[in-house]
Amino acid sequence: MPDRGGGPSGPRMRVGRPSRRARTLLMTLGVLAVLAMLFIMFAGFWTDWLWFRSVKYSTVFTTTLWTKIGLFAVFGLLMAGAVGFNIWLAHRLRPPLSAMSMEQQSLDRYRMSIAPYKKWLLLGIAVIVGLIAGASAAGQWKTWLMYVNGVPFGQKDPEFHLDVSFYTFDLPWYRFLLGFGFAAVVLSVIAAAVVHYLYGGLRVTSPGARATAAATGHLSVLLGLFVTLKAVAYWLDRYGLAVKSSDFKAADNWTGLRYVDANAYLPAKTILVAIAAICAVLFFATLWRRTWQLPVIGFGLMVLSAILIGGLYPAIVQKFQVQPNEQAKESPYVEKNIKATRDAYGIAGSEVKDYPGVPQTQDRTKLRKAADTTASVRLLDPNIVSPAFQQLQQVKGYYAFPSTLAVDRYSGQDTVIGLRELNIGGIPKNNWINDHFKYTHGYGVVAAKGTTVGDQGAPDFTQSDLPSKGMFGTDFEQRIYYGEQTKQYSIVGGPQKELDYSDDLKGEKETSYKGDSGVNLDSPINRAAYALTFSEPQILYSGAIGDGSRILYHRTPKERVEAVAPWLTIDGAPYPAVVDGRIKWIVDAYTTTNGYPYASRTTLGQSTADSLTNSQRAVVAQENQVNYIRNSVKATVDAYDGTVSLYQWDTQDPVLKTWMKAFPGTVKAKSEISKPLMDHLRYPQDLFKVQRELLTRYHVTDPQTFLSGSEAWAVPDDPTTKAGTAVPPYYLSMKLPGQTEKDQVFSLTTTFTPNERDNLSAFMAVNADPGTPDYGKISVLKLPTSKPVDGPKQVQSKFQSEPKIAESIRLLRGGDSEVEYGNLLTVPLDGGMLYVEPVYVRSSGLKYPLLRKVLVTYGGQTAFEDTLEKALNVVFGAEAPTTPVPPAQPPGEGTTTPPTATDPTVKAALADASRAIEDAEKARQAGDWAAFGKAQDEIKAALKRAIDAEAKLTPPTPAG
């Protein structure tokens, strides 16, 4: 069959050709450019392979790579084949040469221009769509691996009675296949229609039939395939209702079927499946009938049905059946949502108990003893004392501590711990050699007791100095090559020596890295690849690199764990521990999914944000929406050699089991966790914050109460800041009411308030110690609504408005000093709530905070004293309060008139007090806390003398 537009070729015009030398030069440049592009692509691939091999997780790299390549190839070829075949078929079905219409004559020049390049054009289009489709499919590698390796949950959804794994592992892959099928059909229809139009199979303005029989049949089959896929989509939409998000006043990010879904949308989707199937048959029937009439009518009916049955009918059901009696209609579905959500977030076993909120014992001596045994109150706030660690233990400017320190347990003692990491900004002179060869690591651990402080309120260090010594001894590897602040690459182990640490007597001590971490730079190819990767040409030719040189990168704990296990979500607070003579970073990791049926969704970034969230304390997956989460993996990163170890923590988690099938050998068994490491594991903060956010609503299990919202809670704002952000949870060792254990348990705690109010509604704690049988048990103490109990914000407000305390705070702020409020800890005690808050003073001279006062509030009694013991004694009546200033009482019956300066004794006493105040201010400014304490004692003694002298002058008030 002749091809239109071939035509005879005209005479060729001779065009000047470039010289042989120019052609050779251009060819050489072109080859070099191609080689350069290939090497750039190769460098990224090669350095990734070298890094994964260096951390001994090469199987993660190869499995991920081959999965991506396989998906790219399969779906790229499928898309290229589908589109290319339909272009070829449309060209093959073009009509024979016939009389030209004006429309066809205007298309002639296009046919003539592409005629010599038809094969290349077909190949080019197929390759382009194949590359795009292949790249899109490669991005679905996680979906594919979860689909082929999925294990059952052993739980079925309440509507369709399918295993949860269908929704988490299978349905996402089916949806991808469906989307791919739609894309292939739509592109094929567009490509075929263009070819049919170009070669006359379709006509827009020409007289006669608008389409040839061949074009009609071809396009009808493609449209029939489209409608068939639409029928499949309607069928999958039925199951999608179980994981569909919707707006519902009972809860944000509601997931699962409601009354209108089960009674309107679900039957509507089933009816639309049948209509779409019939419509598809009508399209396929055009192969024999050669008319568009019936399929067009059928398609129109399908669209109309989708509007009426799928849109209008559910709206009518919602308006006239649900809204008039919403609680009765929605209750069964709310009950399913509550159960699924509590299961999915691990809060189904949370125990809610009523708690009176007021002391039950009048014996204050007994209460005082109970206060000591109920909790080991942590006075050292890890979020405030970092500057004290920095000033007292930094030693050199090129070392630094994180802004938020960690809380751990050593020898049964709550301990605040931090690592002396490398601070590139503190290097005396920044240059390439110093930044990457000489200053390569931090050195030493610093730890302090959490429940006590040292002289003048400074941390009571149990491990300090450089090299570090103390409770851990000195016989452990103190060098820190991997840490939270170590973000630049270093080249170690070669001819260039590294600075180990400086000794005031012996000077600088040098070292050379002996670990097997990092990638060897002996190979010129490796050096060239890293020179390109880090945009640093000196790596290629520097003499500082030689035999044994290794490059270290990906050095933060979060970064390393996320790289070797990209299917995990990493907790925002890795913390260090000294384990078996090594410094280990402990990293909590989570498995998550967005496809747990009926479970409401939460956004990780929003749920885990609090007043301490910053660039260091941020969750990796800020925008990830999930409706299932488990702390399934505990990971460690060695601070010296960067070794990453992943341990299976949740042995029942089907999501982790699925990933362990996909990446066998990457996660170690839980039994391989050593006892010393187990002693330092804890319940993770980010999981706890997600759970507390859900428990603000899902502590309620009665559907009617849940719908009314009358029992909804809120996470209170941090009362010690003005940012309006959530209060962080706090670690401390404590006993809950009713517990019979003799020892306190390391716990993670928080509080709740009612919506839009500041009084306390509940207290929540989780057993954070894996060494106990109740690890992970969540306990919630619910306070009565009839007798409001002060919440954190109210306690803080009353504390700051108390006249005596306010005057003390004013004195503490004298001389440009700053007052900082530590963590406001809440401890349930004999039916009431004991609040404890350390108060720090940062003087202008010292520039780091020292613990100066402790606030304690219980049962309406408040104390503000120098020590926790003194404050507890005052609150429980075992000791008189210390009054730094005269009590501000209004004169009247039964009161004492304030001292006057008319009596010589009173006058002399007040003069002594004035001088002592001046001495106190001078001592504060100089940072001489011993002198400051002495001056405070003199102030108290002088005021007491004045009050006693005035009392002798004041006649007694007559009785009656």
> Which pLDDT tens digit goes with each residue over 99-109?
466 556 666 76
- Per-residue burial over 267-305, b = 16 or more CB atoms within 10 Å of its CB, e = otherwise: ebbeebbebbbebbebbbbbeeeeebeebeebbeebeeb
Question: Could you tell me the two tokens for 161?
Answer: 């009675």
- Please name the helix (run of DSSP H) or strand (run of DSSP E) that holds residue 179, with its range, or none: helix 171-198
The pLDDT value given to residue 205: 63
Q: Would the pLDDT of 958 be above 70?
A: no
* Stretch 803-808: mean pLDDT: 83
**pLDDT value of residue 960:** 31
d(CA 498, CA 479): 12
Q: Among candidates 919, 940, 941, which has minimal Cα distance to 930?
A: 919
How is 222-265 classified by DSSP, letter by letter?
HHHHHHHHHHHHHHHHHHHGGG-EEEETTEEEEES--HHIIIII
Residue whose pair of structure tokens reads 């590359």 in the numeric block? 131
**Is the per-residue pLDDT at 824 higher than 60?**
yes
Residue 953 pLDDT class (50, 70, 90 cuts):
low
In the three-class reduction of DSSP (H, G, I as helix; E, B as strand; rest coil), residue 699 is classed as: coil
Span 257-284, mean pLDDT?
A: 92
Range in 13-27, 219-233, 277-291, 756-770 with the lowest mean pLDDT: 13-27
Residue 865 main-chain phi, psi, to 5 deg: -130, 175
Q: Which of 763, 755, 652, 747 is nearest to 343 (CA)?
A: 652
Contact 563, 555 (CB under 8 A): no
Q: Which band of pLDDT confidence, cut at 50, 70 and 90, is reported for residue 612?
A: confident
Going 702 to 707 to 710 to 711, the CA torsion angle's sign is positive
- Cβ atoms < 10 Å from Cβ of 903: 15
Q: What pLDDT score was predicted for residue 755? A: 86
Max mean pLDDT among 15-24, 656-665, 808-817 falls in 656-665
- Angstrom CA distances, 940 to 52, 431, 689, 740, 937, stand at 67, 57, 45, 44, 5
Write the single-letter amino acid at 386: S
CB 930 within 8 A of CB 886: no
CA distances from 672 to 577, 785, 828 (A): 18, 48, 37
Whether residue 314 has a cis bond before it, omega within 30° of 0: no
15 — pLDDT class (breaks 50, 70, 90) = very low
Query: Residue 445 is encoded by which pair of tokens?
Result: 């651990």
Q: Which of 360, 375, 389 is nearest to 453 (CA)?
A: 389
Q: Which amino acid is at 703?
A: P
pLDDT category, 943, cuts 50, 70, 90? low
Report the amino acid identity of residue 803.
P
Min mean pLDDT across 525-539, 763-777, 903-917 is at 903-917
CA atoms within 13 A on the CB side of 238: 18
Judge whether 58 and 52 are in contact, CB under 8 Å.
yes
Choice between 299 and 925, residue whose per-residue pLDDT is larger: 299
Residue 950: its pLDDT value, please? 56
Residue 454, pLDDT score:
84
CA distance 257 to 598: 7
Whether residue 655 has pLDDT greater than 70: yes
Token match 């905070």: residue?
849
* pLDDT value of position 895: 34
Write the CB contacts of 338 (distance below 8 Å, at least 6 apart in sequence): 698, 700, 701, 703, 706
Any residues with CB less than 8 A from the CB of 115 and at least 6 apart, and which? 3, 5, 6
Per-residue confidence (pLDDT) for residue 97, from 0 to 100: 60
What is the number of other CB atoms lying within 10 angstroms of the CB of residue 473? 11
**Lowest-confidence range among 44-53, 56-65, 678-687, 893-902?**
893-902
Q: What is the pLDDT of residues 369-393, one digit of tens each?
A: 888 888 889 899 888 888 888 888 8
What's residue 13's pLDDT? 44
Check whether 36 has a pLDDT greater than 60: yes
Q: How confident is the model at residue 887 (pLDDT cuts 50, 70, 90)?
A: very low
The structure tokens 């069928």 sit at 235
Alpha-helical (H) ranges within 565-665 are 604-607, 654-662
3-state helix vs strand vs coil in the chain, percent to 5: 45, 20, 35
* Between 796 and 951, residue with greater pLDDT: 796
Residue 212: per-residue pLDDT:
83
How many percent of the chain have pLDDT more than 70? 87
Asked whether the CA dihedral 467, 472, 476, 480 is positive or negative, the reply is negative
Residue 577, strand partner residues: 584
Each residue of 279-291: pLDDT tens digit?
999 988 887 776 7
Of 208, 201, 247, the C-alpha closest to 93 is 201
Per-residue confidence (pLDDT) for residue 152, from 0 to 100: 96
Who has greater pLDDT, 613 or 584?
Answer: 584
Question: In 610-652, at which residue ranges do the beta strands (DSSP E only) sit?
Answer: 625-626, 628-638, 644-648
Running DSSP on this structure, what letter comes out for residue 309?
A: I
pLDDT reported for residue 933: 62
Of the pLDDT bands very low, low, confident and very high (cuts 50, 70, 90), residue 956 is: very low
Whether 521 shows a pLDDT value over 70: the answer reads yes
Place of tokens 């029942």: 652
Instruction: For the chain, give the percent of residues with pLDDT over 90.
Output: 49
pLDDT at 394: 83
Q: What DSSP line would sit under 761-813, residue for residue? A: -EEEEEE--TTSTTTT-EEEEEPPSSS-B--HHHHHHHHHH-HHHHHHHHHHT
Q: Is the pLDDT reported for residue 518 higher than 70?
A: yes
In this structure, the chain runs to a length of 960
The contacts found for 910-919 with CB under 8 angstroms, 24 or more apart, are 910/942, 910/946, 912/938, 912/942, 912/945, 913/938, 913/939, 913/942, 913/943, 913/946, 916/942
Select the more confidently predicted residue: 765 or 314: 765
Per-residue confidence (pLDDT) for residue 391, from 0 to 100: 87
Q: What is the pLDDT of residue 617?
A: 57
CA dist list (Å): 703 to 272, 330, 336, 354, 699: 32, 8, 9, 20, 11
Band the pLDDT of 959: cuts 50, 70, 90. Answer: very low
Residue with tokens 């068994």: 669
Separation between Cα atoms, residue 55 and residue 516, nearest integer Å: 9
Place of tokens 């001894």: 473
Higher pLDDT, 8 or 214: 214
Who wins on pLDDT, 883 or 906? 906
Using pLDDT thresholds of 50, 70 and 90, give the confidence band for residue 49.
very high
Angle at alpha carbon of residue 30, lines to 28 and 31, rounded to 5°: 65
* Cα dist from 664 to 143, 562, 625, 656, 960, whole Å: 17, 17, 27, 11, 90
Determine contact, residues 883/896, Cβ cutoff 8 Å.
no
Rounded Cα distance, 339 and 337, in Å:
6
Per-residue model confidence (pLDDT) at position 883: 52
- Distance between CA 355 and CA 31 in Å, rounded? 79
CA nearest neighbour of 617 among 625, 608, 627, 626:
608
Exposed (0-12), middle (13-18) or buried (19+): which is 507, by Cβ within 10 Å?
A: exposed
Q: End-to-end alpha-carbon separation of the chain, Å?
A: 129
Hey, what are 788's tokens?
């409001």
Question: What whole-number distance in Å separates Cα of residue 328 and Cα of residue 883?
Answer: 61
Other C-beta atoms closer than 10 Å to the C-beta of 44 total 12
Do 859 and 832 form a contact (C-beta atoms < 8 A)? yes
> Using CA of residue 468, residue 470, residue 474, residue 475, what is the dihedral sign?
negative
Q: Looking at the predicted structure, is the pLDDT value of residue 8 above 80?
A: no
